[in-house]
Structure 1
Amino acid sequence: MDLEQQVMKRVMFRLMPVLIICYLISYIDRSNLAVAALAMNRELGLSPTDYGFAAGIFFLGYVICEIPSNIFLSKLGARLWISRIMLTWGLLSGAMAFAVGAKSLFTLRVLLGIAEAGLFPGLIYYISFWFPSTYRARAFGYFLVAIPLSIVIGAPVSASILYMDGVGGLSGWQWVFVIEAAPAVFFAFFCFFFLTDTPAQATWLDEPERKWLIARLARDVEHVESHGRGEIMAAFVHPRVWLLSLINVALIACSYGCVFFLPLIVSEFGFSKMQTGLITALPFLAGAISMIVWGRKSDRAGERKLHLILPLLVAVAGFAIAAESDTVTLKMIGLGLAACGTFASLPPFWSLPPMFLKGTGAAAGIAMINTIGSLAGFGAPYLMGYVKQHTGSYALGLMIIGASALSAAVLALRIRSDELAVSRAAQFDR
């Protein structure tokens, strides 16, 4: 094993499990509303539109605080700021159990969005500190697998917690929020003592390993300094930042269209709460596998554009099948394809911003891409709830989300391949 393979394996196995767990917990706490809704909506008297609004309004606070949060992270260090984010969101996620109606639920969701703002772009920015450009798609693939895994793990667990109804005087849906908030608080303290801000501070690397990694990352920075923009305002007006922001609107619409409504779609076929949780996990398990495989393939091919477009087209087909199907088998096949396409597109997509942004500009640019995209995090759930309430079906909502995936594929055609080509990465195991 040469020095490069040795260093990248050590970095991967040291940092990636912790980052995956952090984002896994985050996504469970963000999306457990979908399973809690199986009992919560009735108890709080929420209409489908109310539920969609509650799911989406999280992103109001998230969007407002996203860019400032990521700038604070770049100034104060990832270790401190990520720990702060996890602590405050864990406490507020637990407080969701004490919502007494639509208005209090809306308020808590906004506060949760404020607390969690900056985590995702902050972790993307942090990964770019540690992984050279030729390793980033696979690194993002491993990291982003937390999204589908949060449903694979969280949906059955949340569904089982619903059966605690009446324990300690709390409803089952209240226990979902209380129990699933605890890991975030614990990991806030763990991250503070475990994470390392930069490779230069990595005492867990040997001196030759540390020097190699710093030098290799410096070459990436030199390329960005020659071809990219580093200042905050320059990042905000960078045309590629805006292009990727628009693409991300569609990606997030696809993701949250699945996350917040798939349990409710499945439950319409008459399954129990536990069966609903288990069946809901299947498309996301397929999405997790596709994300890892496709991210590694993108790195090996040294290509991003085509690896972004092709899975988006698969997602379009999947949403169309799900919208037009009346049987649970065909609907789940369609949603499985939609999940595979949506999640497989994320590793090549998030490999793009660090290729033309650096330093504080990268922190601001990545946050901006995620912030603008997060507008769909509000719009997509609200749209799905509104369509369901007024048509009695999710079909039209699924078609609209599928159309957004198609628009993302069309926008991705405008990415210039010659500017974004990367060299073939060395494999971990030769």
Structure 2
Amino acid sequence: MPGIVVIGTQWGDEGKGKATDQLGDRVDYTVRYSGGNNAGHTLVVNGEKYALHLLPSGILNPGVPVIGNGVVVDLEVLFSEIDALEARGVDTSKLVLSANAHIIAPYHKVLDKVTERFLGKRKIGTTGRGVGPAYADKINRVGIRIQDLLDEDLLRDKVEAALVQKNQVLVKIYNQMAIDPAEVADELLSYADRVRPMVRDVARELNDALDAGRLVVFEGAQAHHLDVDHGTYPYVTSSNPIAAGACTGSGVGPNRLDRIVGIAKAYTTRVGEGPFPTELLDEDGERLRVAGGEFGTTTGRPRRCGWFDPLVVEAACTYNGVTDVFLTKLDILTGWDKIPVCTGYEIDGQIVSTYPVMMDDIVKAQPVYEFLDGWTEDISGARTFEELPPTCQAYVRRLEELIRCRISGIGVGPGREQVIMLHDLID
């Protein structure tokens, strides 16, 4: 059985959880390998809606859900999600947590919020959940890891050391109250007993599973164009949600990855600041937002909406070695007479047909559109490609040509069963 990576090809919120969920009970392990609770997955199973922020979507399937070392963990959020799912009858007892995952401490959230306010109009548009500061501490080698919870003296020393400088910054630069290291340590240690049974050598367990022929799905958060190295920097996340991040974020080698599934929404959305060439600031944009329910799973913020941009998706497919694309929310486009699709950008009077590397070019890019015929039929009940209206089929095939990657799955509604599979994502 293969190792499969599921990644977003746009700016997040593409419906990665839905694609992962399609693999269902065939999956032995579902691994969240990057990000924190600044991301979210919304799943609809048997008419019930589940909003997940930190837990992998595989928590709703029979396999083992895993939080890898590349994730930063807010313990309060983790156990709030677990308790909420348990209250609804979901068994979370199989959850595995990497000993090497870093913890989002209370002071990370404070720093995240005051820094954004301080930046003013230059703000990045973070969620204020402490993800960036936690990753910064990780890189600065002053982070606190899950395994540190299991040694009280070590934890207290690390918290105290981390706050020596941070309290100076909070008090002298941001005019905030200093944070008491003892209070922070006490709060973190209050979760130690619940954490202890979950902690494992995730890298070893996943490699053993792959050696034994188990199916392991690596589930990214955010998306390619929010990657700290390859996205629209600085308007990005603080980690590597690209396919290669599955290796560093879980401890498996690149030769263990057999298939890369890229998720693309049938239009485009973005949350937060940053360039967005096909963004719509008119009635069509608002219509997409309302019809698609485009409000953040984690933040509730309204998402910026625009037409499908193949240049964005093609770049992600190329740089990640995407083998299959899963197209979501196709049903939302029902009712438009003509549907624009971006086929290039005009930049300084020149037409380009590939996504630019220079941020200045992306900011200046004006979309060049091709107009495809729309459809009015309700497609939410379609379960085969042939059941889609001819113009809807033509829309999908044209996107396939422009992104230069086969479309293997299509989402036609929010439900787990509202999917058309053109190619199996495993075989």
Could you state the TM-score of these two structures normalised by the residue count of structure 1? 0.26
Which structure features the higher share of helix residues? 1
Query: Which structure dedicates a bigger proportion of its chain to strand?
Result: 2
Question: Which has the bigger relative contact order, CA under 8 A and spacing at least 6?
Answer: 1
Which has the larger Rg? 2
